[in-house]
Amino acid sequence: MLVFAFNLLVFFPRLVLAQNSKSNIATGARKTIALLDYVSQDYDKAVVKGQVLNKEEYQEMLDFSEQTKSIFDTLALKVRIPNALTIHGELQNLSLLIKQKQAKEKVESIAQSAKKKILLLNLIELSPASWPSMEAGKKLFTANCQSCHGPTGAGHLQLHLHHVLLIF
C-alpha cells in the first residue's frame, strides 16, 4: 500500500502535467492554425492594391501575424519540431508581407503553406473522437430527408415537380 501511495504521489502529478502540456500544445497549434486561416481569408478586407482599406482590420492582421510567430515559437520550445526553422521563416515572411501591404495572393499563399506544415506536425487530432452513428444518421435522414429524397436517397421526381409547381 505504501508503494502505491508513493507511486501515486510521484507519478500521477507527472501524468497530469504531461496531459496538461499535451492539451496546451494542441490549443496552441489550433490557435495558430485558426489565426493563419483568418489572415489568409480576411486580408483583402484590410488591404487592397497596397492600400489600407480598414485601419482596424489591418492592425488585426499585423497583430495576428505576430501572435502566430509567438505561439509557434512557444510550441517549438515544448515539442521537437523538425522543420521549425522553415515554419518560423514562413511566419516571419507573413508578417513582413503584411507590413509591406503585399497582395492578398502572396499573403494567402504563405499563410496556407505555414498552416499545412503545422497540420502535418500532428499536434492536433483531426479525426472525430468517435465514429458517427449510422443508426442516428438513418433516423435523421428518415425524419428530415426521406420525404423528398426517398428511402434510398434517389429522390421522388414527381413529388419534387409537384412542389415546384405549387411554388409557381
Domains of the chain from N-terminus onward? 16-119 (1.20.120), 134-167 (no CATH)
| Choice between 88 and 167, residue whose per-residue pLDDT is larger | 88
Q: 113 CB contacts (<8 Å, ≥6 apart)?
A: 90
Residue 18 pLDDT greater than 50, yes or no? no
Judged against a pLDDT cut of 80, whether residue 15 lies above it is answered with no
pLDDT-based confidence at residue 144 (cuts at 50, 70, 90)? confident
Long-range contacts of 118-127 (CB under 8 A, 24+ apart): 118/29, 118/32, 118/33, 118/36, 118/72, 118/87, 119/33, 121/29, 121/79, 121/81, 123/25, 123/26, 123/28, 123/29, 123/75, 123/79, 124/26, 124/29, 124/30, 124/33, 125/26
- If one compares 9 and 132, the residue with the highest pLDDT of the two is 132
